[in-house]
Structure 1
Amino acid sequence: MQLRLQQRLQERRQQSLYRQRLTLSSPQGAEVQIGTERLLCFCSNDYLGLANHPQVITSLQENAARYGVGSGASHLVVGHSGPHQELEEALAEFTGRPRALLFSSGYMANIGIMAALLKRGDAVFEDRLNHASLLDGGLLSGARLQRFRHNDTDHLKQLLQQRADVEGKLVATDGVFSMDGDSAPLGELATVCAEQGALLVVDDAHGFGVLGANGAGSLEQAGLSAREVPVLMGTLGKALGTGGAFVAGDEDLIEGLIQFARSYIYTTAIPPALVAATLVSLELLTTEAWRRPHLQQLIARFRAGAEQLGLPLMDSQSPIQPLLVGDADAALRLSEKLRSDGVLVSAIRPPTVHAGTARLRITLSAAHNEDQVDRLLDALQRHA
């Protein structure tokens, strides 16, 4: 097995697919420090620039002094503290749902949803470009997993009709797709699910906090209620700048997850100080609402500049602005050239994306300013 692993690692290196970690010595922000390099960062999911917000930091520090560092146990033993309860109630109110439940990560939340709702003999239908956690959740659930063409509701309807005899049918989609940056046609998906008797699950990791009039995410932007989309998952480590995830829905859903989601039952709860800091982040969505329109202005500025340069951006109005390169080695070289120019953008390569679709995943944040976006465009003009 060791020889087999060594061979696989060597193949990754030869195919320009080998992944390496970067070690930061600074907080998240528009600029980051890596070793002796000070780099303009365009690859973080800190979409609203809250990860290093002074009020969020203060809350974390004060509540660490009050509650300690670790939660000490899972929620069902003795790890559920006052901040956990308060945040769940706040998230339920913010998303317009009866209840919400905290998970340690979006991956664990999606695994838990699938495990609690599906059983062997059921059918789960997923967009081909769904996040790995949704796909893995479907595979691990024991249900039969079928993937429909990206954002193709006609194909989904056809697959659902072929499984009309199945009692338990679940459809899962990202709200905003993490590597392409485009949005799911949630209204159409909700209509198809209602017609075909399927439960709709939306992973809004990249929409929550960013989209909608109040930042409540993709469902708010699409004008969809809990009746049309019964299961909502959102993460707290992206737009809110902290960590963890939640599932929001009705009483039966949340109680079902508490009783049957193994990724909830057997996981240590998020540290209460971090949860308290997330409450501040959630409040900042309202008190510093300027962050979302500012971010949209930066997105528009970048896309307009990229169009002038003839850069092959993908169709995205979200903070995720993928620059399609194609070849994995070419994407890696472009990333390295930008870094030598003081700009940090990750090269995304297979197996994260399909072969032949390697890209630079450019992400914008409310922490950026117009001059920094222009610096990125200047660097792309020189090297892309």
Structure 2
Amino acid sequence: MRDLAVELAALRAAGLYRAPRTVDSAQGPVIASGGREWLNFCSNDYLGLAADARIAQALATAAARRGCGSGAAHLVCGHSAEHAALEEELAAFTGRPRALLFSTGYLANLGVLAALAGRGDSVLEDRLNHASLLDGGRLSGARLSRYAHADAEALEAKLAVAGGERIVVTDGVFSMDGDVAPLPALADACRRHAAWLVVDDAHGFGALGPQGRGSLALHGLDAEAVPVVIGTLGKAFGTSGAFVAGSAELIEYLIQKARPYIYTTASSPALAAATRASLRIVQAEDWRRARLAALIARFRAGAEQLGFGAQLLPSTTPIQPIVIGTAEDALAAAQRLADRGIWVTAIRPPTVPAGSARLRVTLSAAHTDAQLDRLLDALAAALPAPA
């Protein structure tokens, strides 16, 4: 029998031990935890909607009318009118005929890939894809191959020798690096080799593109170029859950074949109502994306001025990683920020490759200029002076 205590001790010794910290407030630029306030620069609440009063009111109103629980899986009796309306609205938002709700983004990715691929097929994934996409590829039973990060030529070389049904999978925005996938080049390669292109735009929807329609809209790509798009609702939308959008045939197929959809209790109908309210705000309030873009530019300019340009990864998204190196050094840097009341998470292996542990700074449209300047001052004091 494995000695779990020994393995846990080894994780601690390597600086890889993880533990949740309890938050005692609503999400926002300032949060409460452990009896004190923290300036929060590690949330994925990119548009500042997680605590929006309008969304909370929509949740409360729907809960009073429809209750909290859905009661069953979608295919039993858990699919409410709120779920159905949200799916229609998400389909319109993505410019696709239909959409299908999943309880989490992890389940959506597992469900899509295990349904579309099987033994004898090929799943080709970006090397830096989210763990859920890699796990979905493994779960499918297909031959899983990983191509060099954001390298369409490397993908094309693998497509040329891949067998069976070929499914190419990429994040739209990479969650730990913050860069955007070269989607037009990937779509061209898929078209030449008659391959499916699946894009998980979890960190793009809401934050990027006209009306927040994501990285596909940013590149002007339509449903023909990208037949399968996946999004999560717990980031820029400020609620929870996920969806897949595509053709009517794709959605019908997933309803029949995607086990995480078939065998999971549907999310709360009140949550669906709250997400409908959020979706309206995401599309209508362009000032949130404009504010976010201004903060990103301000942060990058400030970090460059401090001399951290070489450590700051090239990102135009709200995800602004500063590479530190070892897990121990990243933890120490995060602790020095914490000593100054700044909450920034140290990201360590296996989430990122060994030697590239980092501070993952994330920005929200709700941050003020003064809060951002406080972060920059803290970084100047907490990080070693650049060589």
Question: Please, what TM-score do these two structures have when normalized by structure 2?
Answer: 0.98
CA distance in 1: counterparts of 2:337 and 2:270, whole angstroms: 37
CA distance in 1: counterparts of 2:210 and 2:284, whole angstroms: 14
Question: Any conservation in 1 of the 2:211–2:284 contact (CA below 8 Å)?
Answer: no
Question: What's the offset of the Cα at 1:287?
Answer: 2.7
Match in the other structure for 2:261: 264
Match in the other structure for 1:168: 165
One-letter amino acid of the counterpart of residue 116, structure 1: A
CA distance in 1: counterparts of 2:227 and 2:184, whole angstroms: 13
Question: What's the offset of the Cα at 1:286?
Answer: 2.6
SS of structure 1 residue aligned to 2:124: strand
CA distance in 1: counterparts of 2:286 and 2:353, whole angstroms: 36
Q: Percent identity?
A: 59
CA distance in 2: counterparts of 1:256 and 1:370, whole angstroms: 48
Question: Please, what is the CA RMSD of the aligned residues?
Answer: 0.7
One-letter amino acid of the counterpart of residue 285, structure 2: E
In the alignment of these two chains, the number of paired residues is: 381
CA distance in 2: counterparts of 1:257 and 1:307, whole angstroms: 46
One-letter amino acid of the counterpart of residue 216, structure 2: L
Match in the other structure for 2:15: 16
In structure 1, runs of 5+ residues without a counterpart are none
Match in the other structure for 2:245: 248
1:77-116 matched pairs, under 5 angstroms: 77-116=76-115
CA distance in 2: counterparts of 1:196 and 1:310, whole angstroms: 44
Match in the other structure for 1:330: 329
CA distance in 2: counterparts of 1:283 and 1:64, whole angstroms: 19
1:37-48 matched pairs, under 5 angstroms: 37-48=36-47
Question: Please, what TM-score do these two structures have when normalized by structure 1?
Answer: 0.98
Task: Give 1:276's match in structure 2, choosing from 273, 277, 288.
Answer: 273
One-letter amino acid of the counterpart of residue 227, structure 2: P
Match in the other structure for 2:313: 314
Question: Any conservation in 1 of the 2:43–2:362 contact (CA below 8 Å)?
Answer: yes
CA distance in 2: counterparts of 1:124 and 1:279, whole angstroms: 33
Per-residue Cα deviation, 1:317-360 (whole angstroms, up to 9, x for no partner): 00000000011101001101101101000000001111000000
CA distance in 2: counterparts of 1:310 and 1:67, whole angstroms: 54
1:294-305 matched pairs, under 5 angstroms: 294-305=291-302
Question: What's the offset of the Cα at 1:2?
Answer: 4.8
One-letter amino acid of the counterpart of residue 192, structure 1: A
CA distance in 2: counterparts of 1:6 and 1:323, whole angstroms: 32
Match in the other structure for 1:52: 51
1:65 aligns with 2:70: no
Question: Any conservation in 1 of the 2:11–2:17 contact (CA below 8 Å)?
Answer: yes
Match in the other structure for 2:290: 293
SS of structure 1 residue aligned to 2:180: coil
Per-residue Cα deviation, 1:146-184 (whole angstroms, up to 9, x for no partner): 000001111111111122xx2300000000000000010
Match in the other structure for 1:210: 207
Match in the other structure for 1:354: 353
One-letter amino acid of the counterpart of residue 318, structure 2: P
Per-residue Cα deviation, 1:4-28 (whole angstroms, up to 9, x for no partner): x222111100001100111000000
CA distance in 1: counterparts of 2:229 and 2:183, whole angstroms: 12
In structure 2, runs of 5+ residues without a counterpart are none
SS of structure 2 residue aligned to 1:214: helix
Q: Which aligned runs of 4 or more in structure 1 are off by greater than 6 angstroms? A: none
CA distance in 1: counterparts of 2:284 and 2:256, whole angstroms: 36
